[in-house]
Amino acid sequence: MTRITTLFFDLDDTIFDFRAAERIALTKALMALHIAPTEALLSEYSRINLSQWQLLEKGKLTRDEVKLRRFRLLFEAFPDVCGGLDVRNASDDVQLPKEAEARRRAAGAEREKREAFYRRAATLYEEALCVGHYYVKDAREILKRLRGEGYRIYIVSNGSSRVQRSRIKSSDLASLTDGIYISEELGFAKPDRRFFEACFAQIRAKEATTRQVTPESTLIIGDSLTSDIQGGINAGIRTVWFCPNARREKGIEPEPDREIDRERDREIGGKPDGEINGKQNREADREIGREQDRETDREINGEIGRETDREPDREIGRKSDGEINREIDRKPDSEAETGTDTETKGEDILPDYRISALSELPALLMRIEADSKR
């Protein structure tokens, strides 16, 4: 097994606490629009935002579409909070010719008002999101420690370049890492293998190092199964799934080879360290952990938002959005909850390790180092 020398860290909800930043930024944006930032609004936005970024990862939305569409969906779900603005769709009732023409003109004007309202909300939110930063617990200390131990550390993010660069600038993160790579600047987004290829190419081009930076010598740590873990697998990089509170995402349910738990530090199936990660043992790993993981999956999938794929299929003013809704949002709940999506089948996704706190990472790296010497 090749020794790990390079660490790729996701940024949002791995190093920076994006959930806190999102909540504060949305609260500021809503208040600027004279809308009360209720818990229902904040929670629904968080759910919608995650689902839209997952569509971006699949190539079904552009970044600009994500920024606007998440607010369109939010305010359509809460039409009464928009100060009298009709964010619902115009009626399709049969009208007399003159009445129909007048209604079409009025509907067009109303649609423009809605779109302007969504754009204003998106702008206010992004401006607020650019301000400040919030570190995940232990993140700074772990980065300092690991860099001091000789690891090369890079940030790999799918976020907006303007937002991420502003937040990073307000922090000392640049001094704690060897480089920062953002998908919007590279032209590819995680989990696309080309994103990681671009990262490696830039690292090799910019840094005169005697150590060859390769996928085999790299480990990616991130909270997102659909971008970080799937991306690492696509690129041939070993993966660490950072999952505080054992949170799982819909549509992809991996069976980790190893779990480093806060209360216990052991293999999921009780296997010796030397048996981890070998391809010849992966089928055995699945069998050993399958029953336990299946029960855990049922419990967790019952707790996270089951409504992610239940957004009603409605016309929202643009044909492309309607097509996306029909393609994405009509997926049966049973399919989403059991991980049978043809793009991301659970049995095909196998993160190498899982941690529930960043403070557990040094111990995990020591074990990987020991395994590499065997």
Listed in sequence order, the residues at least 6 apart from 190 whose beta carbon sits closer than 8 Å to its beta carbon are 57, 156, 158, 183, 196, 224, 227, 228, 230, 231
Query: Token match 């081009």: residue?
Result: 205
CA distance 358 to 197: 26
* Cis peptide, bond prior to residue 256, ω within 30 of zero: no
CA distance 242 to 194: 23
CA distance 50 to 54: 6
Q: Given phi > 0 = left and psi -120 to 50 = alpha, else beta, which region is 83? A: left
Dihedral angle at the C-alpha atoms of 98, 104, 105, 109, nearest 10 degrees?
A: 160
CB atoms within 10 A of CB 299: 11
Q: Residue 114's closest CA among 92, 141, 154, 83?
A: 83
CA distance 87 to 94: 21
CA distance 343 to 36: 39
Active site residue 10: yes
Per annotation, catalytic residue among 10, 12, 192, 223 = 10
| Catalytic residue set | 10
